[in-house]
Structure 1
Amino acid sequence: MKVKGNTKYIFVTGGVVSSLGKGIVASSLGRLLKERGYKVTIQKFDPYLNVDPGTMSPYQHGEVFVTEDGAETDLDLGHYERFINENLTQYNNLTSGRVMSRIIEKERRGDFLGGTVQTVPHVTDEIKRNIKLAGEKTGADFVITEIGGTIGDIESDPFIEAIRQWKREAGRENIAYIHVTLLPYLKAAGELKTKPTQHSVKTLQGLGVAPDVIVVRSEHPVDQNIKKKISIFCDIDEEAVIESEDAKSLYEIPLTMEKLGLADVICKHFNLENKKPSLEGWSKMVDKFKHPKKSLKVVVVGKYVELKDAYISIHESIEHAGFNLDTKVEIDYLKAGDFDVKSLSKYAGILVPGGFGDRGIGGKIDAIQYARENNIPFLGICLGMQMACVEFARNVLGYKDATSTEFDKDTKTPVISLMEEQEGIEDMGGTMRLGAYPCVLKDDSIAAQVYGNTEIAERHRHRYEFNNTYREEFEKAGMDIVGLSPNGKYVEVVEIKNHSYFVACQYHPEFKSRPNRPHPLFTGWIKAAIKKIEGK
């Protein structure tokens, strides 16, 4: 397997502990290289045996991010897209489960000609195939690959072996290895300790991978003596030891990494032109985040509120809309079904997100009713849109038993029902309506106004839809169906007339929001919330 062209490959690994922010380091580097005029793509390799995170509970792995082409992926792909402003694809996420599935399919077909199937070369070859495809499908100058997990984990060993072998295919001159580690601070000793980093690097070196850059995470300043010590013991240039402190905003990190020279080190490593990056726009965006002129408080009423990562794209989308309107948006999370409805009065906006299953449905419906009846700006997403329809059917149309067939297959008022193409499907993974689909909006709708367009395309992840049997009845009673699939079959967006902002969509707008290009539905919602608190 030989690589064509001159693509450069950067592999980001983690050591000592998990959750060090490898994805943010990869995303920040991607942004800095893109600002230098290079084409960048980023991919994530996850060692778990699930084929994808699509069937996982959000409590296990955070939200499931959906790409334009319908891949259910790790939430880090959301960070990648938001930082480098590129739409990623199925080639940007790979799991051990997917690797194993492909190999077993080949073995069952007899593709290995009766040979023994082994980790080396078969598993590692499949991993390398994905590295190669990521570059070929995008034509990227840089392919940045984050390896999930922590060095020393059994699960990640095949991926480390694959990126070691990749030196043979791509050439060592076309590869850079970045290792992200923790520098713990011992309060009793009053100093940072480098030993965990040294051991982590030695473990990595023992697997045949020598890091070219070490990014150290610390809650305390890292002085030059510490960097020099790491340089000596880890056999790395002193300038290639980069510190990464905690930041108020994720979007500050590329600016910090630029000051510390991360992209400079990478360009020098590859002997590439180190163009001056254009970061003025990014800096202005961060400055808006840090110095808002206004503030308001909104609430997300959901099922998985104990884990912020379960709604990370929604959280980021709200912040994008806020700081682009010079507003600090404080976001509270209330567990559906476990809150006092009267407490909603203190919020300028209410959002009900997606989810699966009937737990907390009553609380979501109560929140939607409160928003509708009290003229509080409301945004419903996926299940949030479906429950807005159920609430309207129950409390406006008078169908007290109205619900979704997801929760009651025998209901007499199925205002939400299973999509036709989902009938008879038994497998859970990868079988929903996934990825980007077109939608046509009514000219005079709020949605069309905020989008500035009547033809849009948004990413979906659902099995159930609005039941068209009730379409005419809903519209006569005041819920407008303003967004439809081009063939008129699927209801995509609904709105309430004569309301400050009551918009609910079947798709997931949060997946397409960017820090410097917030999603129109979130911007419209926050604008309405600002007007609400200002009494306009």
Structure 2
Amino acid sequence: MKKMKQTKYIFVTGGVLSSLGKGISSSSIATLLKHSGYDVSIVKIDPYINVDPGTMSPLEHGEVFVTFDGAETDLDIGHYERFLNTNFSKQNNFTTGQIYLSVIENERQGKYLGKTIQIVPHIVDEIKHRIKNAGKNSDFLVVELGGTVGDIEGMPYLEAMRQMKHELGSDCVISIHVTLIPLIRAIGELKTKPTQHSVQELRRIGISPQIVLARCEKPLSKELKKKLALSCDVDDDSVIVAEDAESIYKCPINFLKEGILTPIARRFKIDELKPKMDEWDMLVKKIISPKNSITIGFVGKYLSLKESYKSLTEALTHAGANTDTRVNIKWIDSENLDNNTLYDLEDVDGILIPGGFGERGIEGKIQAIKYARENKIPFLGICLGMQLCIVEFARNILNIKDANSTEFDPETKNPLIYLIEDFIDQQGNEQIRTHQSPMGGTMRLGEYECKIKKDSQLAKAYNNNLTIKERHRHRYEANPKYRSSLEENGMIVNGESSNGLIEAVEIKNHPFFVGVQFHPEFTSRLQSPNPIILEFVKKSLESKEK
């Protein structure tokens, strides 16, 4: 591992419009630097005033990613972990809400000695402090600024960028601007004017990007690249084309071929960067052109915005790459699933029930679980998916017809699933690490230890490691009162916490039927897929071959 004397900062901004892929671009650049032998960290700045996305609707924000230390963060942190094969923490994502909250708390405690609190210097100083803290002990820190240049809420962050370059010098801070080169289909031309205006807006506030990363649908000609370089005042080799890729994991390879490391090394005055990408390249090829193929029935309720399940769909891609298998997802809306529409599940090789909140679509998910159990189809239930497979088993095997979760029926006489507060009360207020939700209620957030039952399907998946750590995000737990009845009838508790919480279950005499209370997708990476999701894909492949 190489080591820098001083942290180098790479700021990534976006222009023209949002959703250009700044997160993937930042992850790709960081991946190339890490594979060049350096210690790399990365931070996402979200300009919204929410303190975090934990209380935001999945339809509004997409997935909420949970770090090992229990922070509810932007989904780009998930990309960072998946690309860099690294655990990041709450310090790797902060919002305008957190910045203002911190400054106001400091003011109330008298830390500013009675001074008038202003955007400059106080807000900007807090931003710089957090950026530098995230880059501590790293050779490179990639800083992704959410939103688009010109947004009013992003101005303090751009000012912090400008000041850091002034304070640290041009050989420690560089700016990469991700921008759109739109294709006007009627005439078949790529247009550079939006990018020119976007860069002019940056320069107006004192920031000149050193690299322009041009998102486009087809290659830029040499003439257009030269035109961009001249109009944006960057070197000819600093206009990097970022075409649409077959897989997001191909982006680092594409950037490497485009030569993005050459201007980065030159600007930072360091030796040539030579990343070792052989293993990565092999996995990408298996994503794009695999030998095998399976279809997973993904039964969810946020299907209008599949970003809500981003970590889970990426985890299936990781498992596919490591088994040389294309994992096709058949999206099945649980609200439309009942006895008359179960034919939607007839052509799938495995059935997956993801996590979620709320009553909508619950009965459809229970129907899908019953179908998987009775027809011996490989099944994986995650969080809510595990809870519902317990409810289904209780209703149809234990014959407890009113079995339910208190989330959906607070008055149920047979609460197979109940609030964690109820468990704590039953255990005599036993100490369990939880987080208080801003909207009320207690949640288990972040990484917890799970003890696995020997010789179980779960133990096999985790290579007979009987103590694992996985991440949680939920308020409801399986009720241990029913544990003996479940196990006597064939549903085994194969994982539990040190406090006795039921963490995982499986069914006897089934090719693969596992439910887990934790979210295994949060720890899956391209180069190290999560074990239980990998095992699910393997069993689905075996089922298809049989």
- The answer, yes or no, to whether TM exceeds 0.5 is yes
1:283 to 281, 284, 290: 281
The 2-side partners of 1:344 and 1:232 are apart by 56
The 1-side partners of 2:424 and 2:199 are apart by 49
Please name the residue that 1:246 is paired with.
244
Please name the residue that 2:184 is paired with.
186
Please name the residue that 1:515 is paired with.
526
The 2-side partners of 1:443 and 1:77 are apart by 34
Aligned ranges 1:336-485 → 2 under 5 Å: 336-339=334-337, 340-420=341-421, 427-428=438-439, 432-452=443-463, 453-485=465-497
Task: Deviation per CA, 1:449-495: give whole Å up to 9, x if none.
Answer: 111111100011111111111111111111100101124x2111100
**Stretch moving more, 262-271 or 437-446:** 262-271
Q: Which amino acid aligns with 1:493?
A: A
SS at match of 1:155: helix
Shift of 1:165: 1.4
SS at match of 1:346: coil
Are the equivalent residues in 2 in contact too, given 1:458–1:509 (CA < 8 A)? yes
The 2-side partners of 1:16 and 1:33 are apart by 27
Shift of 1:292: 1.2
The 2-side partners of 1:47 and 1:370 are apart by 45
Task: Deviation per CA, 1:322-350: give whole Å up to 9, x if none.
Answer: 12111111102111121322211110000
Please name the residue that 1:102 is paired with.
102
Whether 2:514 is the aligned partner of 1:503: answer yes
TM-score when normalising by structure 1: 0.96
The 2-side partners of 1:183 and 1:118 are apart by 37
SS at match of 2:522: helix
SS at match of 1:337: helix
SS at match of 2:135: helix
Task: Deviation per CA, 1:258-310: give whole Å up to 9, x if none.
Answer: 01111222111101122422111111111111221111111111121111211
Q: Which amino acid aligns with 1:515?
A: L
Are the equivalent residues in 2 in contact too, given 1:9–1:144 (CA < 8 A)? yes
Q: Which amino acid aligns with 1:456?
A: I
Q: Which amino acid aligns with 2:518?
A: Y
The 2-side partners of 1:60 and 1:17 are apart by 18
Shift of 1:75: 0.5
Q: Which amino acid aligns with 2:352?
A: L
Are the equivalent residues in 2 in contact too, given 1:437–1:459 (CA < 8 A)? yes
Please name the residue that 2:428 is paired with.
none
Are the equivalent residues in 2 in contact too, given 1:422–1:432 (CA < 8 A)? no
Are the equivalent residues in 2 in contact too, given 1:72–1:430 (CA < 8 A)? no
Q: Which amino acid aligns with 1:508?
A: H
Q: Which amino acid aligns with 1:111?
A: K
Are the equivalent residues in 2 in contact too, given 1:450–1:524 (CA < 8 A)? yes
Please name the residue that 2:160 is paired with.
162
1:298 to 277, 296, 299: 296
Shift of 1:190: 2.8
Aligned ranges 1:12-51 → 2 under 5 Å: 12-51=12-51
**Stretch moving more, 175-184 or 100-109:** 100-109
**Stretch moving more, 158-167 or 216-225:** 158-167
SS at match of 1:410: coil
SS at match of 1:150: coil
Task: Deviation per CA, 1:122-180: give whole Å up to 9, x if none.
Answer: 111111111011012xx110000100001111111111111111123333320010000
User: CA 1:465–1:430 in structure 2 vs 1: closer, same or farther (change >3 Å)?
Assistant: closer
Please name the residue that 1:61 is paired with.
61
Please name the residue that 1:326 is paired with.
324
Are the equivalent residues in 1 in contact too, given 2:262–2:273 (CA < 8 A)? no
Are the equivalent residues in 1 in contact too, given 2:312–2:521 (CA < 8 A)? yes
The 2-side partners of 1:152 and 1:38 are apart by 33
Q: Which amino acid aligns with 2:535?
A: G
Shift of 1:429: 7.7
SS at match of 1:295: strand
Please name the residue that 1:215 is paired with.
213
Please name the residue that 2:226 is paired with.
228
Task: Deviation per CA, 1:25-64: give whole Å up to 9, x if none.
Answer: 1101111001110110111000111111111111111111
Identity among equivalent pairs (%): 53
Are the equivalent residues in 2 in contact too, given 1:51–1:97 (CA < 8 A)? yes
The 2-side partners of 1:188 and 1:448 are apart by 58
Q: Which amino acid aligns with 1:74?
A: D
The 2-side partners of 1:187 and 1:370 are apart by 47
Are the equivalent residues in 2 in contact too, given 1:36–1:274 (CA < 8 A)? no
Unaligned stretches of 5+ residues in structure 1: none
SS at match of 1:151: coil
User: CA 1:376–1:57 in structure 2 vs 1: closer, same or farther (change >3 Å)?
Assistant: same
Shift of 1:430: 9.8
User: CA 1:431–1:120 in structure 2 vs 1: closer, same or farther (change >3 Å)?
Assistant: farther
Are the equivalent residues in 2 in contact too, given 1:422–1:463 (CA < 8 A)? no
SS at match of 1:247: coil
Shift of 1:398: 1.3
SS at match of 1:173: coil
The 1-side partners of 2:153 and 2:196 are apart by 22
2:145 to 147, 161, 178: 147
Are the equivalent residues in 1 in contact too, given 2:170–2:267 (CA < 8 A)? no
The 2-side partners of 1:52 and 1:432 are apart by 15
The 2-side partners of 1:397 and 1:165 are apart by 66
TM-score when normalising by structure 2: 0.94
Shift of 1:117: 1.6
Please name the residue that 2:112 is paired with.
112
Shift of 1:434: 0.8
Are the equivalent residues in 1 in contact too, given 2:54–2:64 (CA < 8 A)? yes
Please name the residue that 1:490 is paired with.
501
SS at match of 2:454: coil
Task: Deviation per CA, 1:386-422: give whole Å up to 9, x if none.
Answer: 1111111111111111111122222111111111388
The 1-side partners of 2:327 and 2:436 are apart by 41
User: CA 1:130–1:305 in structure 2 vs 1: closer, same or farther (change >3 Å)?
Assistant: same
- Aligned positions, number: 529
The 1-side partners of 2:195 and 2:480 are apart by 60
